[in-house]
């Protein structure tokens, strides 16, 4: 029988996604963690749960064991320094029927573990939230951090149009493009009304924006200011971009603000190749031939569907 106390250098990430988002979510998972799953990822990498639109929460692992009894024996070691606490069973969506734990049994587990923690329980506003969760035949216990749906607050902004990226898609694309954003230079050279810019800036990711259409740039600036973020957005065609970036995110123009001929599409991709080492391209059309002709290698991809019937789909293509 094994049980062990672990320094907080391992984490369990709880995921939730719609069927239409599975391809997008898995691409984001591959970029962030190098693995993919339907519900749980265990990793030594610490990622803020609110960074992803698909992460429900993060368990910072303190103890694990083969049974609840083993967890109970270990939690008595916790020192709370007069802080209040609460223990919650972390529900996992879409589990097979034979792996599901009924609601009443979840409450029993919470009480059994909580009774053995020395401290004052507080059900409404605890100082410390603990979680317990089964994963791959073991039980894991630790501090739990819920995700905040920051992207949801960005859905309503002063300037919008119907074919703009959803905030969930934009947020995921930033993570796909820049899984390790610290010290990385990023540009959105066809930024439109700035949906990608807003999501990046809300995560503390430094990004520049540009668009050849002055109306789009005006809208992007207004949207960024509306959420009290600060970022540079300029009127500039991608062909006029100078300097070099580590990453470019390019949502290919096709809407009422900007449209592009086949020749213009290739020009955009060619200049993206010139100004950035890594490019994430979003497109509603098949552009593989153009991408390869521009000198890129396609290293990964997914399809982002709008709705279960996939009435509107975008390809998200990672190029280097």
Domain 150-319 fold: Rossmann fold (3.40.50)
Strand arrangement of the beta sheet that strand 312-319 belongs to: 233-235, 208-211, 186-188, 245-251, 276-283, 312-319, 298-306
Minimum mean pLDDT range among 75-84, 89-98, 204-213, 270-279: 89-98
Mean pLDDT on 117-141: 94
User: Percent of the chain, pLDDT > 90?
Assistant: 82
Nearest to 77 by CA among 116, 28, 21, 112: 116
pLDDT above 80 (res 252):
yes
Mean pLDDT on 298-318: 85
Domain 3-146 fold: VC0802-like (3.30.2130)
Model confidence pLDDT, tens digit, residues 220-250: 999 999 999 999 999 999 999 988 999 999 9
pLDDT above 50 (res 1):
no
Mean pLDDT on 238-266: 84
The residue with greater pLDDT, 160 or 3, is 160
How far, in Å, CA of 271 to CA of 240, rounded?
9
pLDDT above 60 (res 174):
yes
The residue assigned the tokens 């990226």 is: 165
Neighbours of 8 (CB within 10 A): 11
Q: How confident is the model at residue 2 (pLDDT cuts 50, 70, 90)?
A: very low
pLDDT at position 307 is 63
Q: How confident is the model at residue 106 (pLDDT cuts 50, 70, 90)?
A: very high
Q: In terms of DSSP bridges, do strands 298-306 and 84-89 run parallel, antiparallel, or are they unpaired? A: unpaired
Quick check: do 3-146 and 150-319 share a fold?
A: no
Between CA 271 and CA 278, with CA 276 as vertex, the angle to 5 degrees is 120
Q: How confident is the model at residue 88 (pLDDT cuts 50, 70, 90)?
A: very high
For the four alpha carbons of 220, 181, 169 and 58, in that order, the dihedral sign comes to: negative
Scanning 117-194, the segments in alpha helix (DSSP H) are: 150-153, 167-177
How far, in Å, CA of 30 to CA of 11, rounded?
16
Enter the tokens of residue 124: 């409404």
> Following CA atoms 123, 128, 132, 133 in sequence, which dihedral angle do they give, to the nearest 10 degrees?
110
How far, in Å, CA of 295 to CA of 183, rounded?
26
pLDDT at position 92 is 84
Task: Determine if residue 107 is left, alpha or beta; phi over 0 gives left, psi from -120 to 50 gives alpha, anything else beta.
Answer: alpha
Compute and round to an integer the Cα radius of gyration of the chain.
Answer: 23
How far, in Å, CA of 245 to CA of 235, rounded?
18
Between CA 30 and CA 40, with CA 34 as vertex, the angle to 5 degrees is 80
pLDDT at position 310 is 57
pLDDT above 80 (res 140):
yes
Q: How confident is the model at residue 309 (pLDDT cuts 50, 70, 90)?
A: low
Mean pLDDT on 283-308: 92
Q: How confident is the model at residue 259 (pLDDT cuts 50, 70, 90)?
A: low
How far, in Å, CA of 31 to CA of 22, rounded?
14
Model confidence pLDDT, tens digit, residues 40-59: 999 999 999 999 999 999 99
pTM of the model: 0.92
Model confidence pLDDT, tens digit, residues 192-221: 999 999 999 999 999 999 999 999 999 999
How far, in Å, CA of 166 to CA of 163, rounded?
9
Q: Where are the domains of the chain?
A: 3-146, 150-319
Q: How confident is the model at residue 306 (pLDDT cuts 50, 70, 90)?
A: confident
pLDDT above 60 (res 4):
no
């Amino acid at each position: 029988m094994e049980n062990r106390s672990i320094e907080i250098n391992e984490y369990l990430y709880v995921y939730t996604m719609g069927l239409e988002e599975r391809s997008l979510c898995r691409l984001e998972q591959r970029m962030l963690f190098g693995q993919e799953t339907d519900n749980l990822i265990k990793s030594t990498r610490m990622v803020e749960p609110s960074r992803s639109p698909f992460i429900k929460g993060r368990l910072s692992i303190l103890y694990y064991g083969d049974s609840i009894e083993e967890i109970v024996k270990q939690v008595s070691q916790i020192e709370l320094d007069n802080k209040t606490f609460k223990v919650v069973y972390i529900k996992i969506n879409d589990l097979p029927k034979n792996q599901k734990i009924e609601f009443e049994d979840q409450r029993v587990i919470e009480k059994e573990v909580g009774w053995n923690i020395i401290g004052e329980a507080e059900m409404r506003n605890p100082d410390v939230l603990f979680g317990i969760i089964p994963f791959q035949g073991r039980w894991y216990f630790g501090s739990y951090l819920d995700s905040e749906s920051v992207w949801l607050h960005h859905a309503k902004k002063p300037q919008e149009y119907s074919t703009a990226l959803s905030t969930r898609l934009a947020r995921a694309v930033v993570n796909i493009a820049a899984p390790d954003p610290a010290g990385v230079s990023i540009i959105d050279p066809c930024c439109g009304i700035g949906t990608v810019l807003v999501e990046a800036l809300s995560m503390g990711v430094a990004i520049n924006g540009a668009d050849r259409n002055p109306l789009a740039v005006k809208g992007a600036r207004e949207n960024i200011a509306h959420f009290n973020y600060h970022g540079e957005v300029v009127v500039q065609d991608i062909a006029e971009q100078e300097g070099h970036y580590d990453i470019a995110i390019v949502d290919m123009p096709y809407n009422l603000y900007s449209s592009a001929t086949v020749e213009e599409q290739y020009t955009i991709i060619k200049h993206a190749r010139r100004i950035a080492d890594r490019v994430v391209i979003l497109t509603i059309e098949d552009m593989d031939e153009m991408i390869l002709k521009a000198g890129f290698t396609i290293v990964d991809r997914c399809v982002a569907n709008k709705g279960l019937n996939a009435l509107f789909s975008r390809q998200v293509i990672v190029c280097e």
